[in-house]
A = this chain, B = another copy of it.
Amino acid sequence: MAAIVSAGSTKYGKHDEKGARELFAEAFAEALEGARNLDPKRDIGAVFIGQMGSEYEYQAHSGSWAADYAGIPRTHAARVESACASGSTALRIALAGILSGQYDTVLVGGVEKMRNRGTGEVTLYLGEAGDFPMEIWNGLTFPGLFALMATAYMNRYGAKEEHLAKVAVKNHKHASMNPKAQYPQEITLEQALSSRVVAWPLKLYDCSPITDGASVVILTRPELAKKYTDTPVYITGFGHSTDYLGVYEREDMTWLEGARRASEAAYRMANVDVGDVDLFEVHDCFTIAEILLYEALGIARRGEGYKIIDEGLTYYDSKIPVNVSGGLKAKGHPVGATGVGQIYEIWLHLTERAGRRQVKGAEVGVTHNMGGSGASHNVFVLER
């Protein structure tokens, strides 16, 4: 369908000295370095960029500045926004551009510059990802929304706070091997459990941080891939689904139906079974989300997601590695960049570039990126 010929990413974290466009340019420079013979002006037909909040630095029209900063000011471009799924949505739109025959090669970026705003302000902006007038206006925040999901889940299935905390411990362990992670320190279960409560049962270590960062991938038609690299990674399936914007509208707040639909469509298109997948990057904006996604993506049975983290099965060197990058939790969550950063991580593994955290012999990887409290889901299957 399409091949990834190169990718790049800034370190995720705090970049006081750089704006969104400088972060994007830094990630693009890494990708360009890795793409043999690629001349942006000649070869790149379009730029699609995922970004949630132009208001973070009073700069919209990101497609145009991204094209400009990639050195191709007169091209095709657009910014795409589906809240925290903006990055993967840009990739989906880019794929449509290739499949439609319009473009041979497309630059896909994701970026967010958040740390220049205060926590309260960012919390308010992130609230725009949910049903603002119904949820946020009435006092809910994103930690609050996911806390509701967590309590409902714990009540129904018997999961405990420890299970949530174990997701954080795992993802911090993974991040400790990722030089681009925002919080690469390992933590203990006790630290996680005794960190301050944000919205019970979610504590500080159950929540992804506020992050600056950018990631890009360069995508081309499969038949052109070898021109630019010896190690192409192929997108063999993708799936997408929206869902009701407000959590209150859904039948069951312990189940991410959009993720089920998106992942089933992606597996079917790629003709892979969930058991064939060597590693997953999933949208752990809060620890409970990773557990719910084990279930929606078919990694665990419904109601049993917390058991597989309890058994340690999703560590990078175990049976079903999940969020080997550190995840949103510890690698960081620059919202518009996240979905592209997940692709970057899988690309590293499938091209044997992941260093100490390399999942050995990885052949098939899957990404899942979510918008809001589950109102947008994009799933990609990548194979080498």
Contacts and interface: CB of A to CB of B under 8 A. Distances in A.
Contacts of A128: 54-55, 58-61
A168 interface: no
Nearest to A46: B240
Interface residues of A, number: 62
B58 A136 contact: yes
Contacts of A138: none
Nearest to A124: B58
A370 to B, nearest CB: 11
Most B CB contacts (10 A, CB to CB) among A61, A73, A75, A375 go to A61
A376 B54 CA distance: 17
Given A61-B372, A100-B99, A76 B124 contact: no
Interface stretch (A81-89, A186-194, A350-358): A81-89
22 contacts: A19-B133, A58-B124, A59-B132, A59-B133, A60-B81, A60-B83, A60-B128, A61-B129, A63-B82, A64-B376, A68-B244, A68-B375, A73-B244, A74-B243, A74-B261, A75-B242, A76-B241, A78-B82, A80-B80, A93-B96, A96-B100, A96-B102
Interface of A: 19, 52-55, 57-65, 67-68, 73-83, 89, 92-93, 95-102, 124, 127-133, 136-137, 240-245, 249, 257-258, 261, 371-372, 375-376
